[in-house]
Structure 1
Amino acid sequence: MTISAIIFDVDGTLLDSMPVWDGLGCRFLQKRGIEPEAGLQDKLFALSLQQGAEYLQQTYRLPETPAQILSAFDRMVQDSYQHHLPLKPGISELLPALQNRRLTQLVASASQLSWIEAALDRTGVSGYFQAIYTCPEMRLHKDDPRFFQAILREHGLSPEQTLVVEDALYAICTARAAGMPTAAFFDPTSETQWQEICQTADFAYRTPLELLTCPLLPKA
């Protein structure tokens, strides 16, 4: 079987952005004089921004609404996306190589659309992608197979011929539940789960350029 499309995650997959998110929820609480629970970062890592905001609001009985918490997150991270976050090593070479193989390349992220657009434009790779999909825009989360299924329908793609590239275990599981092959990219924030990620994903790569060895890709 040869694939015809690839859906890329952004944070930790295309962008070296996970340090920005590391401890974001904890910093948000600490600024308000609230001591975060042990393991909060791990809990939030598996949630979308909306889900994370709802979790903080409900668990810590915050006076802010989830929408207000999201706005606070936005202010805390948007400068990094607009001006600082780099591509992961090898991405700037990988994307044109995949384009040369006539693959449809799409983006699917749990982050805000404006952040993703700003970062991909600034790093010069936005032109390689036919479309960008985000959880806030689609009102679906990456723990729901319907998120990926909606993207497939919009582009007339079959799940078996669409590879999902992710760094997060929960999203890899969701893509597999949608019947899609998966490839994992290593990110240090997921190091403790890397063994399980390797066992779950169809393919696992320590560096992005290794994706070019994937047997599902059409020949160059």
Structure 2
Amino acid sequence: MRHKMLWDMDAVIFDMDGSLVDSMWLWKAIDIEYLGRYGISLPEDLQSRIEGMSFSETAVYFKEHFPIPDSLEEIKAAWNRMAWDKYMHEVPLKPGIPEFLNGCRENGIRLGIATSNSRELVENVAEVHNLRAYFTSIVTGCDVARGKPSPDIYLEAARQLEVAPARCLVFEDIVPGILAGKSAGMRVCAVEDAYSLQSREEKKALADYYINDFRGLFISEG
């Protein structure tokens, strides 16, 4: 038996960081380390400024706002190197994800990922956690014209999944992502995440549903 939020859905689209995997914490750590290489302190409001930006948009922001000698490609390559070991060894799936993915597959619900992260990292995460076979579509922010909160990434995921936006359910953990899903005409379930606890009430107000984790969204009828 599926949760009511899934009753008339043909596809589920996940944001990755903070929704599919518990990884939002690592990006602040990487920003501190990377800027520290050049003697730059992390601005207190940096995370809120770049929230929702694609991997490439974030690199442009860093290049424009900080005295960094690296090229855009060098910045992104450095972030990929710094993040990969953490994703491989320190980033777990959100509780209940394996059971939820199996439930979706058994019920014929198509699965996609729409992430602001780099393709290299999302493909690596999918491989480490044996997720690749579940997902028909993986779209990154660099694949579309505008990052979240614009709807582009979710509309492209729906196109690849061949499902009408109104029949897609999005799982998101940050406000710009929730806004992106709603702007795409999709139903959105906000996901609890330690990184965005200060936005909990706003997330609940903007989203159609709110969950602490993915346990119990499919219940065996046997």
- Paired residue secondary structure (2:186): coil
Match of 1:48 in 2: 54
CA shift for structure 1 position 20: 1.4
| Deviations, residues 149-198 of structure 1 (Å, cap 9, x unaligned) | 22222333111111111111101101111111101111100100011000
Q: Aligned partners of 2:169 and 2:49: how far apart in 1? A: 26
- Equivalent residue in structure 1 for 2:194, among 165, 188, 199: 188
Contact 2:112 2:137 in 1 (8 A): yes
- Paired residue secondary structure (1:171): helix
Match of 1:216 in 2: none
**Which AA in structure 1 matches 2:161?**
H
Match of 1:147 in 2: 153
Contact 2:189 2:211 in 1 (8 A): yes
Contact 1:94 1:208 in 2 (8 A): yes
- Equivalent residue in structure 1 for 2:85, among 52, 56, 79: 79
Matched ranges for 1:110-125 at <5 A: 110-125=116-131
Q: Aligned partners of 2:100 and 2:184: how far apart in 1? A: 25
Matched, 1:127 2:133: yes
Sequence identity percentage? 28
Q: Aligned partners of 2:42 and 2:113: how far apart in 1? A: 32
Q: Aligned partners of 2:119 and 2:69: how far apart in 1? A: 26
Matched ranges for 1:160-199 at <5 A: 160-199=166-205
**Structure 2, unaligned stretches of length 5 or more?**
1-6
Matched, 1:31 2:37: yes
Match of 1:158 in 2: 164
Contact 1:25 1:41 in 2 (8 A): no
CA shift for structure 1 position 105: 0.8
CA shift for structure 1 position 62: 2.2
CA shift for structure 1 position 96: 0.4
Matched, 1:8 2:32: no
**Which AA in structure 1 matches 2:214?**
P
**Structure 1, unaligned stretches of length 5 or more?**
214-218
Match of 2:4 in 1: none
Q: Aligned partners of 1:90 and 1:17: how far apart in 2? A: 16
- Equivalent residue in structure 1 for 2:105, among 99, 114, 125: 99
Contact 1:82 1:115 in 2 (8 A): no
Q: Aligned partners of 1:178 and 1:17: how far apart in 2? A: 25
Q: How many residues align?
A: 215
Contact 1:25 1:44 in 2 (8 A): no
**Which AA in structure 2 matches 1:124?**
N
- Which segment is superposed worse, 59-68 or 9-18? 59-68
Q: TM-score, normalised by structure 1?
A: 0.89
Q: Aligned partners of 1:125 and 1:146: how far apart in 2? A: 24
Aligned-residue RMSD, C-alpha? 2.1
